[in-house]
Every structure is written in structure tokens, then in C-alpha cells.
Amino acid sequence: MNIHEYQARDLLSSAGVAVPRGAVAKTAEEAEAIARSLPCNSFVVKAQVHAGGRGKGHFVDGYKSGVHLVKTPHQVREVAKHMIGNTLITHQTGPEGKPVHSVLVGESTEIARELYLAIVLDRSSGCPVIVASQQGGMEIETVAEKKPEAILREVIHPGLGLQPYQARKVSIFLGFPSTGLRAPCRLLHAAYRLFIEKDCSQVEINPLAVTKGGDVVALDAKLNFDDNALFRHKEIQDLQDPSQEDPRDLAAAEHHLNYIGLEGNIGCMVNGAGLAMATLDLIQAAGGKPANFLDVGGGASEAMITAAFRLLQADTTVQAIFVNIFGGILKCDLLAQGMIAACRSNPPRVPIIVRLQGTNVEQGRKLLKESGLPLIPAEGLLEGAEKAVAAASGKKGM
């Protein structure tokens, strides 16, 4: 789960990380009032969306950048007016962008150096890892690609935690003098504590700024939480913002479906994560692109099947649906009933390819046949995938 920058900086600040003064505003008037209350003479106005790359982004109406530095409270108001209610597009939002409902108004910091600092879960070592670079700011992706030696990765033993020598090593790599390690080390320990205590999958501070006055301040913050641990953190769950989520993901979560939206046009309904992955691979191998990963699971009820099928039908990018079920605990006749119920209330708009095997397959096929639904049957896996690809591209001869 993602949260907004203004929420992330509150959490960092409570953990002991210095952040610039500021507050969130939902209207242009509020934004101006916040600016007037800040004891400074230049301000930053930042669009709040669940995506990075805002500085280099643009709004759908052509207005440039989701991060503006301005001199007066009146200008803060003008910028906020442009941003709130607008949609920001960055390289992380996809072409449709994300809606801006609030802005963070803060004091502008005099930056001497922009550093990069993140703590993420590293799959290869199975440990948290600190990722640090002196070349922080808006070009970090380029640094990672072109100058990997400018990035330090320090693996933390989860049982031992961040060791003092590791905090010093990272701080020195970040260019702090050996006489000035206290502030960055304290910050690293605070960020690591937050990462562990809140079950984060990512704490990213980019830029971590060294100010002209020598302070170390988090100017941007992105926190990501492990969904499977959210039940332990009611206070984090409350930070959820549905306006920033893919509506397909929201509908799936409501029905406890394992669903991930993808970019293609073939909707998939499969039981079992392994078969679902194999189905995506086969669609790809047959020259098509899946619109989603959807594992209805072994113990799916008829209502869940109906909800899953409705979800695929409601997705306007879907041009064909491939139902690939290997009946085990989930019986094929129950699946057929769920599909039929979904199609009764919502007549099929696109071709549906069905491959059923396993428990109660005969009853399932019979139910589907008698339903009179215009389904395209398939026996084998590859055959099903090929028929789905042909149907999605509008080819005859299926």
C-alpha cells in the first residue's frame, strides 16, 4: 500500500527524521493560509499523488511540473489553484495520470547537496537493504543505469538490525566528513526503525538534502507498506486513498480476489497462481497480451466467481476473456454457475474462451452448453490461449 508524501513525512518526522516545515492543503485558500503561517520567504508547492517523478511531470492541461518553488503566499495560492482538481502525469503514473486533490505547502530549503536514500526489501538476500547515493534528486534512475558504482547497497541482517558501523559506512559513502557523522547516522537509525516497526516494504527519501546550513533534511518521502501486515497497523490502513488506486484493483480487493491489472487486452480468469502465471506466459507466447492476473483461488464461492467475471467484463480494455480452470477443490460446475450468473446480469460484450478440466468437468460443460451463452470451448491450454489471442485481435476462424 502506498501513501501520500505529506503522510509519509509526518511518519518520518515522528520517527525522528528532520523534514521542512509545511502542511497539506485541499484548497487554494488553505494553501495560501499555510504559506502565510510559515516563517520563511520562499515556498514549495507539491502536488500530492501516489507517484514519483512529479518535478519532471506535467498536468493534462499542459501546466508544467508537480513541484513549484515560489516567493509569495499569493503565488502559492495561484499554483495550488492550477494543481488541485487537475490530473498529473509522470513517468510513474501511466499515460492517464493521477488526480490531485491536495498539495503540500512547505518552506523552500536552500539545498547544498541532494542525496538518495532508501531502505527496501531485497529479494536476493532476503534482507532489508539500504540503498544510498550522493547523486540523489530527479535523475536517480539514470544513475542506477549508467553509473551503478555511484550507488551503495548495504544489506542489514534482520535479526541484528542496523549496526552502528553500517550507519557510519553509509554516511561516509554519502560524503559526510568523519567529524560530522552523528546527524546522518541518527537519521539512518530512525528511518530503519520506522521501516521495521511499520512493516514497510520501502522507505525512500529522494532527495535527502544537505542544506547550506549543514542540516540533513528529508525533502521528499515515499513509503510503501506490506499489504499482508496491514492488519497490524490500523493507523496506516486509515491513510489509504482510493482515488489514487486502479479502480479494478479496488473492486478485486473488495471481493478478496488475487488480482493484478496489466496492460494488455485479454482478460484472464484462472484458479491457482501457478496456472495463472502459466496462462499469462502462454498468451504472451501466442502473440497476445494479458489484461490481468486473476487467481480466483481454490476455495472460491459462486459469488466470488460472479464478482471476478464481472470485473473482467467491466474492464473496457478487455477484448476477449480466457477462462482457464483446472477443477480441484474448485469444482467446474460451481464455476459454470458463477459465470452464468455474471452473464445473465451483464450480457457478454467480448468473446469468451473457456477451458475446463478436472473435478465435475462434465457437469460444468453441460451447464455452460445449456445456458446458451456464446462461448468458445477449448480443450488444451495452448489451444485456449491461441483462440483467446485470435479473438482479441478480431480474427475469424477461431
Q: Which residues bind ligand ADP (CB under 6 A)?
A: 20, 44, 46, 52-55, 67, 69, 106, 108-109, 111, 114, 137-138, 206-207, 219-220
Task: From the list ligand ADP, Mg ion, none, pick the one residue 77 interacts with, judged by a Cβ distance below 5 to 8 Å according to partner type.
Answer: none
**Which of the residues are catalytic?**
116, 204
Closest distance of CB 9 from ligand ADP, Å: 10
Task: From the list ligand ADP, Mg ion, none, pick the one residue 4 interacts with, judged by a Cβ distance below 5 to 8 Å according to partner type.
Answer: none
Please check whether residue 58 is in contact with residue 65, taking contact to mean a CB–CB distance below 8 angstroms: yes
User: Is residue 220 near Mg ion by the rule CB under 5 A?
Assistant: yes
User: Is residue 337 near Mg ion by the rule CB under 5 A?
Assistant: no
Question: Which residues, in sequence order, are CB contacts of 38 under 8 Å at separation 6+?
Answer: 21, 22, 105, 106, 107
d(CA 104, CA 187): 22
Residue number, 134 or 317, with CB nearest to ligand ADP: 134
Task: From the list ligand ADP, Mg ion, none, pick the one residue 54 interacts with, judged by a Cβ distance below 5 to 8 Å according to partner type.
Answer: ligand ADP
Return the H-helix or E-strand segment holding 352.
strand 352-358
d(CA 44, CA 61): 21
Residue number, 31 or 354, with CB nearest to ligand ADP: 31
- Which SS3 state, helix, strand or coil, does residue 241 take? coil
Closest distance of CB 96 from ligand ADP, Å: 17
Task: From the list Mg ion, ligand ADP, none, pick the one residue 295 interacts with, judged by a Cβ distance below 5 to 8 Å according to partner type.
Answer: none
Task: From the list Mg ion, ligand ADP, none, pick the one residue 114 interacts with, judged by a Cβ distance below 5 to 8 Å according to partner type.
Answer: ligand ADP
Residue number, 170 or 219, with CB nearest to ligand ADP: 219
Closest distance of CB 73 from ligand ADP, Å: 16
**In the complex, which residue's CB is closest to Mg ion?**
220
Question: Which residues, in sequence order, are CB contacts of 50 under 8 Å at separation 6+?
Answer: 2, 3, 4, 98, 241, 244, 245
Closest distance of CB 53 from ligand ADP, Å: 5
Residue number, 221 or 294, with CB nearest to ligand ADP: 221
d(CA 320, CA 348): 10
Burial 73-106 (b: 16+ CB within 10 A, else e): bebbbbbbbbbbebbbbbeebeeebbbbbbbbbb
Question: Which residues, in sequence order, are CB contacts of 391 under 8 Å at separation 6+?
Answer: 319, 320, 350, 351, 353, 376, 398
d(CA 148, CA 289): 32
Return the H-helix or E-strand segment holding 261.
strand 258-261
Closest distance of CB 92 from ligand ADP, Å: 8
User: Is residue 206 near Mg ion by the rule CB under 5 A?
Assistant: yes
User: Is residue 360 near Mg ion by the rule CB under 5 A?
Assistant: no
- Which SS3 state, helix, strand or coil, does residue 87 take? strand
Please report, as ranges, the residues that interact with Mg ion according to CB under 5 A: 206, 220
